[in-house]
Each structure stands twice: as structure tokens, then as C-alpha cells.
Structure 1
């Protein structure tokens, strides 16, 4: 909770001239509000004028407000003080829709300091839901924090949400930029709030807050939440003719005087890693090192630990208990840094965070500002340093591929649901719709909010309501994404003050040169790295080899498309755990592999350095625990090499198989060939569709079957890329059925 000076600075422009602004009741409420704040933030704390204006709108005028203010401005003070005052007046509990567990934990602790009883309903406390709901019904809870995903859970939506809407005294939408698909962190679950807003008792105030929204996002959020008009993204109060003062939109300046921005252009990932190892201890206090991928976070953490730094990894794959421990370690300065993906972002509250370093550039100035805004909230000086890489744009392209699908795929989904006589699960839809699981789920949530589908027990159903595909809007969103990416290129190139640039991209009308960044005041950091650290970084990033986990289960719903495969893959038809040279998302080998395997890259013989690295992978594999592990236990050296037919990179795959066979003194037994229908077409997006395309795509030629029978042992199965894993699975099944005693996959790269 942020404490504020006794003498508050002036509020933003646009003050209301309402005649009752100085009424005795308002003065008493203001005095009581300051008393509550002192319980939250200390004896010297007093509300700033802009904070009071938001509280006044909620408590006295019972209006709706949208607050767009920088991180650390004190948005949580507004809703906790408003909650205390409204509860004293007999209002129902405050409901806060909050996106991250870290935020919820911080908010509950803050509320307790002010005597506010707060509880939460989220994915991490399922066992407590019934108890919490009973406490809310009994009036024992002042604040209920709810994750946005709960809003679209069928039981919660149908049984709990209507009761909350009827009894809520204040609705708070935290990190409200998530409601806008123009924003950098669009979350369709937030759209469900429109239903709750429509069901609120008249006169219930609503507060939407965010620190990261430009004018376009602000206007979109205001329109969708009913807190303003499409043009309501300006500082101050919006006009209204409804007689109650309209909605309040508070938009403040985004500068933080403690924050110093800088960019270091370094030649490659090894230099960036070495720089961090050499200079991490020079950065003030403790902080966050952001990476663009989970794989990079793990790599960087391992290297920094190897170099003697106390750091921890934090990503979407980190278990909840580990996340809590990592957050606590950073809060208490037991680690120098958390090496994190964007999973550590909104809601993490550490006022004395001393630095934020980005190894790789986010694709949006808004996303970047949101992350660097974690630092410098309660200290005199904090550093925000960007170390961009040439590989960043490949990662941007991947995340851009997850955008809302084309109309044909949406219509196909609606048709499948309309023809079904019962709810269809997301897994079952995958066998009929060519979309990856994450993209499919996001699309369904948008369709649910739009009224075209409905989530129920057992899956999804079509409502029969007409639905229009807003192609123009989706195209404009895509154009906005391209513009944001270009802005990040310009930010790194430093044509002027970096803070001014970010503030202008967020439509901050008060943007001006900061006088602190590396453009205004000169570079604070040398790009030099020690030879020792650079050598260690190159060795770490050049160390090849990651495991390739085999598929163990067939996808759900294959029988619906005429393929009689379900349940567990028979052990005698499975591949063993394999190996890849690297992940495409790695910052080490991934950089080289992305260029080699990029769509449209020329086919050709495998490069010598790649062969040498693959030999190292094989040697480490053989020496590792269990050696050449076979399904069901045991170990056996491979007796031959088999390749997989490739329509896009035949020379690469065949030369790789031949070189591996030659180095290992193994016979090249043959190739799993395409069947009469030729290479499979399309359908790479999800497991069910990929298996559907591959199921009858390959055959084992008679000569290869004979060679397998004569070889009498496991074989190396060589391919270029394992994306979904189903090519390896199908080929291994065919080889096992043809007589191979085991199949050991060996590929250049895995996608994840």
C-alpha cells in the first residue's frame, strides 16, 4: 500500500464545478477517508486530491469511475478506503476482479491492516470455495477477490454470480486493460463482466483501474464497462446529460522520477548473458530479469546460478507453491533477482524493487512500461534496462499467430456445436476444428460473451443466436499490433528521450524529456563483458541436447472422425524418450535452429557444426542415467538409423540421418515413406487434427521392414522438427509394428 505526503500535489485537470462539492457531508467523508488510509499506510498518510475525487465519486455520488494511473499511484488505496466507507453505510461487500494470484495475496494482506476482511475465490483454493461463499452470504466478508476465469465457470456464473450482483456494494475491475482486445494483455474472461454489470442493483458504484492503457484502450474499456463513452479517454470527468454527474475518468501522468531507462545493444545472446553475469550485482537492490519464453527463463536462471548469483526462475509453468516461495524470497531480498516471464507482472507489489532488466524486447511499449513500472515505486533510484535481441521478432510472430481465428474456422466451430445433440468438450472439438487448444479456448470464450455459444457442464453448446464476424475490427487490432512492434524497434534505436517516447505511446499529454535516461543523461552502463563470462556463456548456450518426451495418450474424440484410436498408446507401440539438439524457443541453439528450420528456408545438407553438436547429444544420451532407455525399462544401444520422409526439407533430413549413421558406424536402414496419398496437408494446429492428417500418411516399405527384422534391436528415428509430436508417434508405431524392438527419436529441434 502506497503512503502519500501530508501535503498532496494538485490533482489532474478537469475538476468538477458541482455546487455541492464542499458540502458538510463530503467534508466528513473526506476526513473519515483519511482515517482509513492512515490504518492502511501509516500515520502521516493522506489522500491526494485525485485519489479523493475517485473515492468521492464512488462513495458519495455512487458513480462509475475509470482510473488510468501509473503503477504506485495508489489505486488499491482508493478501493479499500471506498470499501470501508461503503460498508459503514450498510453497503454489501466489494467484489474485486483481479487477474493474478500474486495480486490477490498482496491485497488480502493490505486489507487486513485496515481491519477489512478479505477472501478470495481462485484456482489455488478450490477446497475453500464453499466456506468463502457461506461467509459472503453471512455478511462476514468485506472484500471478495475473484479471478476472471471464475466468471465463466458454469457453476459460478449460474449460481454465485447472480447473488453477488444482487448484493455487491462496489464492483472493482483491476487491471481493466485486459478487457480490451486492443490492449497488450487481452483476456476474454473479462468480457463476462458486462453480464455482471447489467445485473448490478441500480446505484452500485463501479471502479475500473489500470496503469497501462493508451487512449484507444482507455476508450474501449470505458465503453465496455459503462464507465464512459467511446470518446471518454481523456483526463478528468466526462460530460453527461443524465443528471448524476456521468462517469469519472481520471487519467494522470505516467512519469516516475525514480526510474532510469536505458538500452544496451549487444551482439548476440552469449554477450547478453555474460553482461548480466558480470553486472547483475552492480544493479541496485533486488529486481526482476524478464525473458520472452519459459525456456529462456530456465536457461538464464541456470547460468546465473552457475556464475554464483542467487536467483530463482518464475514462469507460467512454475508450481503455485514455488511461485509463492519465489515471490517471498524477492520481497524479503533473499534473492538478487527473479528470472521471469510475463507471468510475473500485474499485481506483484514490491515498492523497493531496484531494477528490471529485459533479456529480449516485449512486442508492445504498453507491455514494456507495465513491466518496468514494477520498479522504483518506493525508492529514490531504480534502473530499467533493455537488452534486445535479433531473435525477439520470431517470438513476436509466434504470439501474433495466436490472434482471433479467421471466420472460416469460427463458423466451423459454430456448425459443429449446432449439429451436436449434447455439450461438446474442448478436447472433442479439437478433432473437428483446426485450432490449437489455447486459441480454441480463447475463441470460445469470446463467442460465449457474444452470446453465440454457452459453456455448460460437459463442454460447450450453440445458442442459435446470430453472430457477426467483425473482420474489420480484427484487422485493425492486427495493424495496431504491427504498430506497437515498430514502436519497440524505435524505442531500442533511441531517437530521443526514452521515457518521453513511452509516455507518448501511452498518450500521456504531459510527456516531456526526463533528463535521466541514457539518451538524456548519457549511458550508465558499459557494454563490455569479461572474457571469462563470455566463454562461460557461450559454453552454456552451446551445450546441446534436450529431452523429447513421447506421446503416451491418443487425443480425445478421434472416433468421431473415423479413427479408432483412444486411451493409452500401447507400450509396445510407443517411442522411447528421445533427444533434440535444442528448442526453437531457446536463446542458445534455438537462435541457429530457427534460421535453419524457418518456413521458406532453403533445403540443403545438414551443416557440419550441427552434426558435431548432434554427436555430442548422442554421446551425452548414451552416458546419461539409464543410457538408451527402452519402453518398460532396460537399455540397449541402437542398431541402425531410420529417417522420416520430408516434403519440405528432404536433403536436410536424409543428410542428417546419413551423417549420424556414419559417425556412429550404424547402418542406414531406410526411410519411413509417405503413403499413396502423399504428404499430409495442413492441420498442424492441434493434436487431434495433426493425428487425423498423419494417421494414414506413412508406410514402412518392405525392404525397411526386412532390415528391422534382421537388425534385432532399437533404432534411431531421425527427423528435423518435432512440433506436436505426432509424426514421431505415428512413425514409431509403424516401426514397432514392423519389428523394431524400440524407437529412439532424434530430432534437430522441438517447438516448445
Structure 2
């Protein structure tokens, strides 16, 4: 193949791709090296290059060149829905027919499958979850493996469980790599792979195709100015952002660690008059699309986002990235800040760490690969089953939450121990070894990353150099731009007025508790006769909590009261006063019981407490305090049954938790008599609700004993 002629053709395609046909656009030498490896040599290549380097230009140019030479369509596997939308639009500019299959467009899947069959598609973008879908894996994937002209694995660090964002669905790619015909090129791309992850991904790319070519470039981002502001508390951070957001260049992203924080911060900034939108895993797809479009068009100053926005957003002129809260990994942090400054000379990157960060890290670390006993139990259940078991059918039989159970099964599927089929999961009977050493190493790696993030916050050396060294970039040198190299460029002070306003916002108490309406599936399998919809006369009403543990206001104040290490004691006066405010606001809301409330309901006739082993004094004093302030009788408390110890409820999946709770509580005679003597609504008080099942079981018992409405009230709500 004439490489000079191929280079000329490649540059022409690039000009069309960037919307400048006949212009002067040319691939850089490192980009050309990747294109030549794919088109001229039909190699497998791993490209590790900084965000903004132009990885998508490589695979789109290679696609056009390969298609002109008779190759089949390009298949791009990417976890980034936002980036998929960007790339479909970019492809169209160069006359490339691109379609995408992901969770946001199931109504289009059949039509796209037909277009694949007829050869109408040049590029198919697929989310990794599709690789593990039974229909796609068994019917579509084999055909793709035979007809694919180029396979692209975007964000390839997700393949490796040494990486910061391992996704088990990606491991299905091993199968596709092994089944590709000889001579089909493969391109894997990432901006966030250290030396170990790079070696692991390169090894997996070599499956069935020989050694992979690794093209690794420098990771310095000359446009970014990095800084850290260590402020006293959440109110100072929120106030600082409220006063300084307009000082930041252009439009950008404000990252938070939780959904609750994102919604809280966005609401505060809107009150301050800023055009902002929230963007989280709970945001409806249509709202996500609108938020992306508004940011691209600079109609908003910022998106306040969780990692749901993460890697998958392409806005070259993004002027800033601010983190309210520190990610647990410097590699993940590098990836997120890399969204800024891709097409502008200067962009500001600021980290505002918080005291709550490490508690959030600990939660996410707790949902890793399960212990061997739980894995073996799941395999045993599947082996003894006479049919495939779905996740809802498995939940009552194993002690794992659904999301963690599903992730574990995906790993076991790739390992060959289980198989996903129509109707659920089956055991294969193949020998399987629990790689305790590997899982322990990964856990230690996570701990090391957390320590590195602490070091980033407190360090006095160059911040960009620090991040580059975390990614094993041999060319890392001081940047001369960050706050440690050149000095801070934004003052940490906030005005007293802004601080008062932010404090008031964070002090505003109250979060709604959505009651459970349906019992979990499969309870009969564990001897519990509860199924389907919870009868209306046994349900809890909608409830209230003082705050969410994941928010940056009351969450920060409640966590110390509710940690396992906290000493049990009476509810603090300020917390009780805030709960009273929540109840007063609740009473005045529609459906409340205050005079004048819309659709006013009867006033509660008393207060009932849930028993607590870990915090009995806290719950009892909360119930007593509410009864006293509200001038309501304290009717008593539910009691533990003699079997309660045997069925101690674990924080696992819904079915297992309900199984334990259903056998754990009873209504003592004194409480039953009080309910009979004073029929009406009751407040049901507890310290904390995570799943809602304790409240659902308590409400069922109280309603059966005569309460005509049960109003749950807790200090804290998870999520």
C-alpha cells in the first residue's frame, strides 16, 4: 500500500470530518501513526493519549479508509452516551452513517439490527451493557464479529480491573476479540491508564491477534490551571461558589460526589440567579439531552453533575471544572478535569475538598467484589435450581443487593462459572477459583489511590506533575501554571452575607421518604407469605426525614450521630429542634394535618417508636421529645420478638432484609391497647432508613393493630 497516497487521502477525510473540506487540516504524526497501523498494517493498537488529543479523529478517518477498501462496518464500544451523541453528529459531517445501540433508544434496536444486516451502517456505537444482553450476545454479536471491519474499544481502561473504572460488561470483549477474523484491526483508546493498566489492556487486546502496538503520549494539559481551595466547611464552599462562579471563564462543570449534593448545589445556584442545570444518574434522559445542549450552546453557566457526566461529554471550549468534594482516585480526577480546556488556551480547574469525602469513599469501597462465602452460596443456589433464576428470584436466596449481585454474576459469566440465558442465570458446573489475592490487591490499590488523593490536596509540589506521575507519565515536569507553581489566583474569602445565605440553605431541614408499595419477588421461597402490592390498608404513608446522609447540609451533621462507632445518647437539642421544624412544615403541606392545609388529614393521635439495638437512647429520646413538643401521647414502641436475634437484618438485598424484619417485630399488648383506645394516625419514629423495609414492616403491624395511618419520621435518609 502506498503510504504517501494513503496519508493524503487520510488528511482529506479529516478535513471533511472537521467541516473544512478542501482545507488545510492534517493529522498529526502521532495520529497518522495510529491510522497507518490500523489501515495499512491491520494491527491491534492501544492508544493512551490525553483528553483532547483527537482519538475519535483516528477511528473515524480509519473507518472511511477501510470502508473504501471493502471492509465491514466499524463497531465502537463506548460507555459514554453523551459522547455517542456527539460522535454520531461528527460522523454525519463526513458522510459516515453512524447509529447507536444503548439504554436510551430501545425502540430503535430492531430497525438498527435490520440496517446492520443490510450493510447500511458504517459505524455502530454500542454500550458495553449490550454485550451482555442475551439477544445481542447470541444473535447480533456473532454476526458483528464476522463482518466487523474495525473494532474500537473506547475508554479501554474499563477492561482492566486494575483500572479506576472497571466494568465487568467490558470483559465480554475478550470473546469478540477471539472471534474476529484474522486481519481485522482493533483500536483501544483511553486517556487514563497507568503502566499496569496499559500492560493489562494490551495483553487482552492480543487475544487471538498477536502483540498489540502501544502508542503512548505525554499527558500534560498545557491549557489547564489546577488549584485546591481548602475551606472550613460545606457552607463556606457553597458560599464561595455562589460568589465566584461568574469569575470562572466561560461555562463549565461543577462536580459533586452524590446525587443529593448535585441537586442541592444546583438549587442554591439557581436561587442566586445563575443559569445552571443538574445532571445525575437519576436525571431523565430527555432532561440530560436538554442539559447537554444548553451547555454546548453556552445557555447555562454550568452543569452541576455527578460522575454520570464523567468522561462522556465533548465541549472543546469548556472553561472550567470545579469539584465540590474530592474523587477517591487521582486518575479519575484527571479524567474528569480533562473535559476542560480542549479547544481554548486557558481553563481553570479547582478542587474544594470536604470532610464528608472519605465517608463517601468508604461507602463506594464497600460494594466491591463479594467475599468467597457469598459467591459460593450464589453458585450453589444456581447449581441446585431446576431452571434459570432471574435477579428477583435469586435475591431471597442470597445475601447480596441486586446491583452488587448483578455485577458479581457478570464477572462469573466472563469467568465461565455462570451463563446468562433467557429467563435469568444458570450455573455451568465448570471449576471456578476465588482469586482472593487479586481482589485483595485491587482493594489495596484503591486504598493507595485514596491516599494519593489526600496527598494531592495537601501537597506543595506541582499539581499537574503529580497527576501525570500517578499515570506513570515519564515526561512529567512542573507545569508552571498551578497554584503551587504560580500561586493562587482566586481568594478563599467569602462575604458574611453569602455565608449566611449558604448556611441558611444547608440548614433547611427536610427530605421526603417514599413509602414501599410492593413486596419483593420470591418471598415464598424463604417462607414469608408476602407478595405483590402491599394492601392500601397496610401501607405506610409518605414520610419525612431531617436530611439525607449524602447531602452536604444535614448529611454532614447527621453522619457522626449514626456511624457504627458513635456513642448512643439523647438526641441533640438542635437536631430535635430541626426535626420539629420538619414536622411543622409537613403538617402545613398538602395532605398535612395543620388547619388550612390543602386536603387536610386528621392530626396524629400519638407517637410510636421503633426499637433499636444500636441506638436505643437516641430513638427513645427523639420519640419522647417529639411527643412533648407536639403535645402528643407517647403510645409506646414496637418490640423485638424472641426470634429477632436469629433473624438479625443485614444491610443486603430487599428480600433478605424483609425476611429478617418480618420475623423480628411485634406489637406489645400495651401498645395495642393504646392504639385501640386512641384510633387515628400515628407518627412512627426511627433514627435512619436506607431501604424503607423497616418502616414498611412497622407500618403493616401498626395498621393491623388499629392505626388508620402511619406517618414515618426519621433523622436520616440514605441516598
- Scaled by the length of structure 1, the TM-score of the pair is 0.93
Deviations, residues 465-494 of structure 1 (Å, cap 9, x unaligned): 111111000000000000000000000002
Structure 1 contact 227–247 (Cα < 8 Å) conserved:
no
| Counterpart among 417, 426, 430 of residue 382 in structure 2 | 417
Structure 2 contact 177–205 (Cα < 8 Å) conserved:
yes
**Structure 2 residue ranges without an equivalent (≥5):** none
Q: For 1:697-736, what aligned pairs fall within 5 Å after superposition?
A: 697-736=664-703
Deviations, residues 356-387 of structure 1 (Å, cap 9, x unaligned): 00000000000000000000000011000000
Question: Which residue of structure 1 lines up, in the alignment, with residue 16 of structure 2?
Answer: 39
Question: Which residue of structure 1 lines up, in the alignment, with residue 485 of structure 2?
Answer: 520
Structure 1 contact 556–688 (Cα < 8 Å) conserved:
yes
| Counterpart among 86, 95, 108 of residue 75 in structure 2 | 95
Structure 2 residue 198 is matched with structure 1 residue 221? no
Question: Which residue of structure 2 lines up, in the alignment, with residue 109 of structure 1?
Answer: 89
1:225, distance to aligned residue in structure 2 (A): 2.5
- How far apart, CA to CA, are the structure 2 residues paired with 1:422 and 1:275? 58
1:180, distance to aligned residue in structure 2 (A): 1.2
Question: Which residue of structure 2 lines up, in the alignment, with residue 405 of structure 1?
Answer: 370
Question: Which residue of structure 2 lines up, in the alignment, with residue 496 of structure 1?
Answer: 461
Structure 1 contact 310–335 (Cα < 8 Å) conserved:
yes
- How far apart, CA to CA, are the structure 2 residues paired with 1:127 and 1:307? 40
Question: Which residue of structure 2 lines up, in the alignment, with residue 8 of structure 1?
Answer: none
Question: Which residue of structure 1 lines up, in the alignment, with residue 36 of structure 2?
Answer: 56
Question: Which residue of structure 2 lines up, in the alignment, with residue 234 of structure 1?
Answer: none
Deviations, residues 610-658 of structure 1 (Å, cap 9, x unaligned): 00000100000001112149xxx86111010010111000000001100
- How far apart, CA to CA, are the structure 1 residues paired with 2:546 and 2:164? 33
- Please give the secondary structure, in 1, of the residue aligned with 2:187: strand
Question: Which residue of structure 2 lines up, in the alignment, with residue 694 of structure 1?
Answer: 661
1:247, distance to aligned residue in structure 2 (A): 2.1
- Please give the secondary structure, in 1, of the residue aligned with 2:177: helix
Structure 1 contact 301–339 (Cα < 8 Å) conserved:
yes
1:44, distance to aligned residue in structure 2 (A): 2.3
**Structure 1 residue ranges without an equivalent (≥5):** 1-23, 229-239
- Please give the secondary structure, in 1, of the residue aligned with 2:214: strand
Structure 2 contact 462–478 (Cα < 8 Å) conserved:
yes
Structure 2 residue 285 is matched with structure 1 residue 323? no
Q: For 1:345-744, what aligned pairs fall within 5 Å after superposition?
A: 345-628=310-593, 635-679=601-645, 680-744=647-711
- How far apart, CA to CA, are the structure 1 residues paired with 2:10 and 2:581? 67
- How far apart, CA to CA, are the structure 2 residues paired with 1:123 and 1:689? 29
1:677, distance to aligned residue in structure 2 (A): 2.1
- Please give the secondary structure, in 2, of the residue aligned with 1:500: helix
- How far apart, CA to CA, are the structure 2 residues paired with 1:27 and 1:266? 57
Q: For 1:2-151, what aligned pairs fall within 5 Å after superposition?
A: 25-41=2-18, 42=20, 43-151=23-131
- Please give the secondary structure, in 2, of the residue aligned with 1:565: coil
Structure 1 contact 227–248 (Cα < 8 Å) conserved:
no
Structure 2 contact 649–661 (Cα < 8 Å) conserved:
no
- How far apart, CA to CA, are the structure 2 residues paired with 1:297 and 1:68? 31
1:347, distance to aligned residue in structure 2 (A): 2.3
Question: Which residue of structure 1 lines up, in the alignment, with residue 192 of structure 2?
Answer: 212
Question: Which residue of structure 2 lines up, in the alignment, with residue 308 of structure 1?
Answer: 273
Structure 2 contact 610–638 (Cα < 8 Å) conserved:
yes
1:345, distance to aligned residue in structure 2 (A): 1.5
1:226, distance to aligned residue in structure 2 (A): 1.9
- Please give the secondary structure, in 2, of the residue aligned with 1:431: helix
Which stretches of structure 1, 4 residues or more, deviate above 3 A after TM superposition? none
Structure 1 contact 641–666 (Cα < 8 Å) conserved:
yes
Structure 1 contact 121–145 (Cα < 8 Å) conserved:
yes
- Please give the secondary structure, in 1, of the residue aligned with 2:485: coil
What RMSD, in angstroms, separates the aligned Cα atoms of the two structures?
A: 1.2
Q: For 1:111-260, what aligned pairs fall within 5 Å after superposition?
A: 111-226=91-206, 246-260=211-225
- How far apart, CA to CA, are the structure 2 residues paired with 1:530 and 1:593? 27
Structure 1 contact 719–748 (Cα < 8 Å) conserved:
yes
Deviations, residues 48-72 of structure 1 (Å, cap 9, x unaligned): 1111111111101111000000000
- How far apart, CA to CA, are the structure 2 residues paired with 1:167 and 1:417? 35
- How far apart, CA to CA, are the structure 2 residues paired with 1:743 and 1:710? 16
- How far apart, CA to CA, are the structure 2 residues paired with 1:674 and 1:634? 34
Structure 2 contact 396–522 (Cα < 8 Å) conserved:
yes
Structure 1 contact 64–227 (Cα < 8 Å) conserved:
no
1:543, distance to aligned residue in structure 2 (A): 0.5
Deviations, residues 539-587 of structure 1 (Å, cap 9, x unaligned): 1100001111111000011001111110000110111101100010010
State how many pairs are aligned.
Answer: 711
Structure 2 residue 715 is matched with structure 1 residue 748? yes
1:300, distance to aligned residue in structure 2 (A): 0.1
1:427, distance to aligned residue in structure 2 (A): 1.1
Deviations, residues 209-262 of structure 1 (Å, cap 9, x unaligned): 00111111111111222279xxxxxxxxxxx9x7xxx42101111111110000
1:181, distance to aligned residue in structure 2 (A): 1.3
- How far apart, CA to CA, are the structure 1 residues paired with 2:439 and 2:74? 34
